[in-house]
Amino acid sequence: MMHDGKSFRRRCVTSSAIRGAIAFGLACVSACSMASGRSGLMSSGASASPAVLATIPIGGYGGDVAVSADGVRAYVPLRTGKVVAIDTASRQVVATIATNGQPYAMALTPDGARAYATDMTAQYVLALDTANNRVIQSIPLGIIARPILTPAVAVSRDGTRAYVTEATVNDDRLLVIDTATNTIVGSQNLPIHPAGVAVSPDGRQVYVAGCKLACIDGTFLVVDAASTTVVSQTPLPATPDGVVLAPDGSRAYMPNGADATVGVIDLATKTVTRIAVDAQPIGIAVDPHGSFVYVSSFAIGKAGRSVERGTCAKV
């Protein structure tokens, strides 16, 4: 990111949250985003210093968070078999969607009308109607095997495809769901155990971050969305626990839990750099403007740390 013609670097540590709660706080100047963590969620606004504005109990362990494009709603899947919807203005839980199972990862369509949530057991994906707060359909994934990594999900920016990863004791796959029919229209075996998935802004490429064999280090895959074939593999110096893209699609950011870093890959050059963060980062999000990356830490119960995007690209 450029500022007054020069690059600059800045880090801001957000406030702590409470397990089973959503914590709304102010983290960094000009930041405007949300991030999930072991204990909850933080939303950021313009402020010179960290401050928690509100803590909202959600009644369970939230594994992920998805925020509508207009910023009006935040959705948190709970392992107790439900998804809670939070009004970001009033900071209140305004709806609960009963899902059963253990919903874990979640992604919204661009219009926010539908959400897709993976189940912790990797048995199915739930299609949710967010306007009427109900489950539209449970989409079986055809796998009955113990997962070795948590499943991930991403939705293309045109809303036509949802991509789901599976890492089980039997196989590792990328599944493609047609959101118009909520059916699986593609399945591709992967050469890695997938931990995260993201889609390029134009929808032509799918990015999968994960690890091979004993997961000592990581691998970043570029997958052709049309054919679902792997077109490139880039070694990573640490094992990633997920992946998100910068809004312009130029970079990918990956929390490396075992390494206590965030990996950054320039998607044009495939150059990989790392930034040190708090211990065991597991969750990651980029604000819509691309100015900040928010990282949640599991080990010390912090709701996150934000890192100025330009710093990530240059470290």
Stretch 172-193: mean pLDDT, rounded?
A: 95
Q: What whole-number distance in Å separates Cα of residue 276 and Cα of residue 256?
A: 10
pTM above 0.85, yes or no: no
- Encode burial over 273-283: b for 16+ CB neighbours within 10 A, e otherwise: bbbebbebbbb
What are the tens digits of pLDDT across the range 256-301?
A: 988 889 999 999 999 999 998 878 887 787 877 777 777 766 654 4
What is the token pair recorded at 276? 């040190």
What are the tens digits of pLDDT across the range 46-101?
A: 334 444 455 667 777 777 778 888 878 888 888 889 999 988 888 888 999 999 88
Report whether pLDDT(223) > 50: yes
List domains and CATH numbers for the chain. 2-314 (2.130.10.10)
Please, what is the average pLDDT of the chain?
Answer: 78
Q: What whole-number distance in Å separates Cα of residue 195 and Cα of residue 78?
A: 19
Report whether pLDDT(163) > 90: yes
More reliable by pLDDT, 88 or 306: 88
Q: What whole-number distance in Å separates Cα of residue 58 and Cα of residue 20?
A: 6
Q: What whole-number distance in Å separates Cα of residue 210 and Cα of residue 192?
A: 6
* Cβ count within 10 A of residue 200: 17
Report whether pLDDT(230) > 70: yes
Report whether pLDDT(203) > 60: yes
What phi, psi does 169 have (nearest 5°)?
-70, -15
Stretch 169-183: mean pLDDT, rounded?
A: 94
What are the tens digits of pLDDT across the range 107-147?
A: 999 999 999 999 887 788 999 999 999 999 999 987 667 77
More reliable by pLDDT, 38 or 95: 95
Indicate the pLDDT class of residue 219, thresholds 50, 70 and 90: very high
Sheet holding 147-155, edge to edge: 147-155, 161-168, 172-178, 183-189
